[in-house]
Amino acid sequence: MMKNSENPTQIAEAAAFRSSVVAQMAGMPVATLRIWEQRYRAVQPRTSHGGHRLYSALDLQRVMLLRSLTSLGHAISAIAALSDTQLRELAAQGRVTVSDKKILRPLRLAVIGAGIALRLQRPALATRARQYFSQIDVYDDISVWHTKEHSAELVLLQMNTLHPDLLPDNTGQARTAVMYRFAGSATLQTLHERDIRTLRDSGDDQALGDWLATLAEQMNAEPVNEPALVADAEMSGEPAGPRYTEQQLTEIAGLNGSLACECPSHMAELLMQLHSFEQYSANCTNRHAEDAAMHRYLHQVAMASRMLFEDAMTQLMRHEGIQLPVNAAKGE
């Protein structure tokens, strides 16, 4: 009997699929596939000796199943860790109902002020807070919040007298909600036009809990009307940070005179621009809900583009024989 001269690894690699092929067969952008893989660990393909991600036939089936489920309304963040059997059982149940969507993705909450933070620890509120918020960070005042790195999706403030000038001008992508005791109708109208949610505080914990639940449910429903990439990629969870630092990119850009190929220099400059725009779009002022949705979309596109360019930069540097920074090599 004739034996195959190829070893099992070579045979497996020959039968494997590249990410572009998998994305095309699943009907999704390559950028979204990368985010599913790197942020949610939804699928874990092998990496070839040449640095390419290789998906097996089973990996391909899993990606297509996940894609089918997200099309039915399931959040990738909620199903990425499920087994293939669980995914098939979920697919058999059909489309997600509106009530199912409301509890899929707990939000990240920033609370401004120790008083309201203590109130959220009361028994009547603590259980509901845990249900709707995966993370609750407390800050003494808004100025402290602005000086910290955060990933809040909702910022909650409490004010005795409500006045627009006392509110933050920019909370980035985070929605602002304010509890107040006294406010004029003109002030409330101004805040409504700025898409800032308000609640007159009567001291009723049940009413406060209902209001927060409504906010969380509305924010969970918002991505349905956003551009497709945001709906697919789901901005819950922590974004994948840059693989190359600003200093490393500056050094690579400075190699222009010592290399026959100028592509590493040009790509380093592009990556610096992409990272700058990624940060800018994350903190751009939102005038209303449509603005917030668009800026989330722009931020997502910038992040996905940056990740793809980082992959390309890594492959290019290997091709040119340029030593990779340690953090860039680990990021693969």
pLDDT for position 47: 84
Instruction: With cut-offs at 50, 70 and 90, classify the pLDDT of residue 233.
Output: very low
Tell whether 6 is covered by a domain.
no
Whole-model pTM: value is 0.39
pLDDT for position 308: 82
What is the arithmetic mean of pLDDT over 151-180?
A: 77
Lowest mean pLDDT among 19-33, 41-55, 168-182, 304-318: 168-182
Lowest mean pLDDT among 168-177, 206-215, 268-277: 168-177
Looking at the predicted structure, is the pLDDT value of residue 268 above 70? yes
What is the arithmetic mean of pLDDT over 20-31?
A: 79
Percent of the chain predicted with pLDDT > 90: 1
On whether both 58 and 145 belong to a single domain, the answer is no
Instruction: Please identify, among 158, 192, 224, the residue that sits at the C-terminal boundary of a domain.
Output: 224
What is the arithmetic mean of pLDDT over 300-310?
A: 80
User: pLDDT for 118-161, tens place per residue?
Assistant: 898 888 788 888 888 888 888 888 777 667 766 788 889 888 88
> Average pLDDT of the chain?
74
Tell whether 237 is covered by a domain.
no
pLDDT for position 98: 40
CA distance 88 to 234: 21
Looking at the predicted structure, is the pLDDT value of residue 204 above 70? yes
On whether both 188 and 265 belong to a single domain, the answer is no
- DSSP letters for 45-100: -EE-TTS-EEE-HHHHHHHHHHHHHHHTT--HHHHTTS-HHHHHHHHHT-SPPHHH
CATH number at residue 78: 1.10.1660.10
Q: Which of 20, 17, 69, 63 is nearest to 43 (CA)?
A: 63
On whether both 41 and 78 belong to a single domain, the answer is yes
Looking at the predicted structure, is the pLDDT value of residue 300 above 50? yes
Range of the domain at 26: 12-96
Tell whether 229 is covered by a domain.
no
What is the arithmetic mean of pLDDT over 13-26?
A: 74
Tell whether 235 is covered by a domain.
no
What is the arithmetic mean of pLDDT over 309-316?
A: 83
Tell whether 211 is covered by a domain.
yes
CA distance 207 to 117: 16
On whether both 322 and 258 belong to a single domain, the answer is yes
Looking at the predicted structure, is the pLDDT value of residue 111 above 80? yes
Sheet of strand 17-18: strand arrangement = 17-18, 53-55, 46-47
Lowest mean pLDDT among 36-40, 65-69, 205-209, 228-232: 228-232
Tell whether 7 is covered by a domain.
no
What is the arithmetic mean of pLDDT over 162-184?
A: 75
Query: Pairing between strand 17-18 and 46-47?
Result: unpaired
Tell whether 56 is covered by a domain.
yes
Among positive and negative, which fits the CA dihedral 273, 279, 282, 286? negative
CA distance 267 to 303: 15
Lowest mean pLDDT among 194-203, 227-236, 304-313: 227-236
What's the total number of domains in the chain?
3
Look at 257 and 136; give whichever has higher pLDDT.
136
pLDDT for position 80: 85
